[in-house]
Structure 1
C-alpha cells in the first residue's frame, strides 16, 4: 500500500470527482492542457478508420501516460494516476460533445427511441506499468417529441457531455432502460476502477 493511499485524477469531469468521493478514494487533480496557445497535451481527434473501442482506449492510455510525465516534470509525489474517457456510440458513429444547439438537437433526435452504446475506458499509470480496461453499457431512450428535445437542449446540460446528455441529470427522464454500469455511463465505472487501483497499490476495503 502507498504511504498516503492517494491518487492523481487526470480529468476535469466533476462527475468523476463525485464518483471517486462516493467510494472513499482520496485524490488530487492533475490536469492536462486541452486548449491553446500550445494546444492539448493529448489530442482527442479520431484517427481515420479508427473504431470506437480502439479510439476510447487509445486516448485514455495516452492521457494516463502524459499525466505521469507531468507528475515527474512538476516533481510531485509519486502516486498512481487515473485517467478516463467516455464515448457514446450510435450505429458505429462516435458522438462527441455537441459544439452548439444544432449539434445537440441532432444528437438527441438521433438517439430518441433507440438503443446506443456507452464505452468508458480507464487507465491507471503506476510505478510498475499501466492497468487499463474498457466498460461497455447500452442505453435505451424513449421516443422524444421535438418540444422535449428543444427544452432539454436549451439548458446547459448537453454541452459538456459525450452524446449530448447526462444520465445523472435531467436526461434521466428520457432513459427507459440501461444494460451495464450506471457509474460507467456517468463517466467512471466504479467496480472496474477499484479493481485497477488495487492492482496499482491503493488499498480499497
Structure 2
C-alpha cells in the first residue's frame, strides 16, 4: 500500500538529513520505524554502518509502494579505533570533544537506497580535524547547542564547525549525516 504521493521516502527523523534533501530540491516524505542499531558482529565499520542503514530501510519497506525509493542512513564518528556514538550526558560530551580536538577523526555514513527489488548500498568517509578548543569553548558549545542527538557530540553546521574546524577532507555534507551529492548520483541508477 502506497502511503505517499512523493516518490522518495526518507527513513530518518534527522532534521539535518531532512534539510539536505530540501536543499537538493528532492520532494520526500518521512517514514521511520525504530530498529536495533547495534552493529552485527564480524562486520568492518563501513559494512556495519551500511548494514544499519539497510535495516532502517527494510523496516519500512512493507509500508511503501513499489514505485517509492527509500533513503536510509546511519552515521558514526571514529577516532583511531574508538567508535563514538551520541553522548549520554554533558560529561560524556565534554570527554568526546576533548578527545577529538587536534586529532583527525573520521565520519562514516552508510547509505541504503531501496526501490522494490533493487538496492544500492554504499558508505562515505570524511576526515575532520578540530582546532584545539579551550574547556570554556567546549562547555559553551555543549550548553548552548545540546549536541546529545549527534554522533561525536557535535554538528559541523553549528557554532563549533564555524570556529572549530581546522581541516576537512571529503564531503562536508557527509559530516552533517548524508552525502547528498553521492545520493543524487546513485538515485540515477534506480
User: Under a length normalisation based on structure 1, what TM-score does the superposition of the two structures give?
Assistant: 0.84
Q: Tell me the equivalent position of 1:183.
A: 173
Q: 2:102 aligns to what SS in structure 1?
A: coil
1:61 aligns with 2:51: no
Displacement of 1:156 in angstroms is 3.4
Q: Tell me the equivalent position of 2:115.
A: 126
Residues 79, 126 of structure 1: 8 Å contact kept: yes
Aligned counterparts, 1:33-44, within 5 A: 33=34, 42-44=35-37
Give unpaired runs (5+ residues) of structure 2. none
2:6, 2:36 → 1: CA distance? 30
Residues 52, 92 of structure 1: 8 Å contact kept: no
Aligned counterparts, 1:69-84, within 5 A: 69-71=62-64, 78-84=67-73
Instruction: Give the counterpart of 1:102 among 77, 91, 95.
Output: 91
Encode CA deviations 1:117-148: one digit per residue, 9 max, x unaligned: 00011111102321111111000011111111
Q: 2:126 aligns to what SS in structure 1?
A: strand
Displacement of 1:48 in angstroms is 4.7
Q: Tell me the equivalent position of 1:15.
A: 16
Cα RMSD over matched residues? Answer: 1.7
Q: Tell me the equivalent position of 2:188.
A: 198
Displacement of 1:77 in angstroms is 7.1
1:49, 1:150 → 2: CA distance? 37
Residues 82, 122 of structure 1: 8 Å contact kept: yes
Aligned pairs, number? 185
1:59, 1:20 → 2: CA distance? 20
Residues 181, 189 of structure 1: 8 Å contact kept: yes
Residues 128, 167 of structure 2: 8 Å contact kept: yes
1:89 aligns with 2:78: yes
> Is the alpha carbon distance of 1:46 and 1:128 closer, same or farther for their aligned partners in structure 2, counting shifts above 3 Å?
closer
2:44, 2:146 → 1: CA distance? 27
User: Under a length normalisation based on structure 2, what TM-score does the superposition of the two structures give?
Assistant: 0.91
Deviates more, 1:144-153 or 1:45-54: 45-54
Give unpaired runs (5+ residues) of structure 1. 34-41, 201-205
Q: Tell me the equivalent position of 1:39.
A: none
Instruction: Give the counterpart of 1:164 among 136, 140, 153.
Output: 153
